Each structure stands twice: as structure tokens, then as C-alpha cells.
Amino acid sequence: MERPEYVKVKLPTGDSFYNLSNLIRGNSLHTVCEEARCPNISECWESGTATFMILGKNCSRGCRFCSVTHGNMENLDPDEPAKVRDSVRNMNLKYAVITSVDRDDLPDQGSGHYSETIKQVKSLGIRVEALIPDFRGDKKLIDAIINSKPDVIAHNVETVRRLTPSIRDARAGYDQSLSVLSYIKDKNPDMITKSSIMLGHGETDEEVEQTMSDLIKSGVDILTIGQYLRPSKKQIEVKEYCSSERYKRLEAVGYEYGFRFVASGPLVRTSYRAFEAWAAQNIKLN
């Protein structure tokens, strides 16, 4: 299936992009912007936002939509939290998103390392968004993230209930994701929470709206909706390239359901307009 023009983007270019990319590689760090081949990488980096992927470059899970390598798990780099902090400072970022691979192989699934990274970056006085895995629903591990006091905690439900078993790893359940989001909001009602839905897997609008309803009931404040773009032939095929009109309609529906901020469009990803979404929440909550 050929991609329509509206989901095609130019390759990132320019001295600013390459300088930032070399800085990250020089510290042996990884960004989900690069690893997941995000189409918005240049726009976000130039606006002062970047998404760092910690806990190594290999994931212990194998979701069928994801291009991140799974298996062959690596040892943690104990200096990674400080390296991320220093890179954020040197990149002159105003908003840092920290995400990670899943580390089911570790006793604490990497939550302690993740928490320390958040604290190190927060020490710079900038805003931090944590896009976390589900930690298999372990509340003590989720508490470690909450207690490190990021400004936003995001966890992606990814798709509708019906399609979850065919798209996500068997250890990543739809209800488990909802329970993680609910627990975060119950534990800290003031915490801004966020989730994301991919379109293009054959979901119906009714199913998307049901997912919106489930997320609202779980206390989610911010919703992003984007088009699944197959990273390579190793991942699941795209069933449908959705029209721009569908994204616009679902954005309006999202606000009707009660989300405080909705970003919906073919190239939207979880961290897209992340600072803008935080700023909108900050205005409304203060």
C-alpha cells in the first residue's frame, strides 16, 4: 500500500540537526526520535524538545508495530542518568521527554534507573515528561516514577481493545495499561497524564471512541492520535491510511469526551507538541 503524500516528510537536514545528533551519539545515548524513526524529529529538536530512550537500545518485548530491536538485553549504563542530564543541558532543551524500552529482565524492570534519570534532568530546572512502560502493573515500581516528580506521566494504550492482542506484546494488556493510568491519577490527582492511540490497523471510529471513554474514566488529561507508519517489512502492515478529515473529526470528539488537550493528525506521535500540551495544562490547572 503506497503512502499518501500527506504522510510523507522530508529527511532531517541542517547543521543544527547534525550537531545535536552527534552530541547524543558522543554520549552513547539513544533517542526514540531516531530509534523509532519519528517523522517530526527536526521540528521537535529545533523547538527545544527531544525524547531520550533509556535503559539500553534493546527491548524485552516484541510489539508487532515497533522498530526497536528486541531481545539480547544489555547491561545498564550506571552513568546514563548523568549523561542524559548533560545532553539536555548542552542541547539547550526547554522540555525533555524520557522514555524507555521494557526491561522485564531486571528485578525492578529499570524503574530505579528511570527515576534517577528524571531526577537528574529535573535538577536543571526544566520540565520533564516520562513516557513509561507498564511495569507489569507493579505499583511499587510505578511509585518510583511518581515520586521522582516529572511534570507529565504518559503511558500509551496504543490501540483499541479488540486489536491489542494482535498488535502489542502478550505481556502488554489493554486493561493493564488503563490500570496503570488510573493508578497514577489516583495516587497523585494533580499529575498530568497522557496516552496515545495509533490509527491504521483496521479499528472503527466506534472502537476509537470507546477507547477515548476508557481513557477519560482512567483520568487521562492529554490524548494524541496518529497514523501508524510501518517502519520496515519486519513490522505489521498498514491496513488503512486515514484521511485528514478523520483526524480532525476525532480531535473534536476527543474534546467532547473531556480531554484537556488533543493532538490528532497523520504525523502526530506521543511526544508531538509535548511542551505545548504541558503549557496548556499548566494554564488550566493553575
Give the C-alpha distances (Å, rounded to integers) separating 102 from 11, 109, 126, 132, 149.
28, 7, 25, 9, 21
Q: Kindly list the structural domains of the chain, giving each domain's residue range(s) and its CATH number in brackets, ordered by start.
A: 8-285 (3.20.20.70)
Cα–Cα distance for residue pair 142/163, rounded to 1 Å: 25
**Structure confidence by residue, pLDDT tens digits, 82-101:** 999 998 998 888 889 999 99
Write out residues in the chain with pLDDT < 50, as ranges.
11-13, 16-17, 33-36, 38, 40, 42, 44-47, 283, 285-286
Q: Please count the CA atoms within 13 angstroms of the CA of 27 that sit on its side-chain side.
A: 25
Cβ count within 10 A of residue 133: 27
Q: Which helix (H) or strand (E) holds 146?
A: helix 139-147
Cβ count within 10 A of residue 61: 19
Position 113 scores a pLDDT of 98
Q: Which among 247, 196, 208, 270 is positioned nearest to 4, based on CA atoms?
A: 247
Cβ count within 10 A of residue 92: 9
- Torsion angle of C-alpha atoms 89, 57, 274, 268, degrees rounded to 10: 140
Rounded to two decimals, the pTM is: 0.85
Kindly give, in sequence order, each residue whose CB lies less than 8 Å from that of residue 254, ignoring residues fewer than 6 positions away.
Answer: 212, 223, 225, 262, 264
Position 199 scores a pLDDT of 97
**Structure confidence by residue, pLDDT tens digits, 139-184:** 999 999 999 999 999 999 999 999 999 999 999 999 999 999 999 9
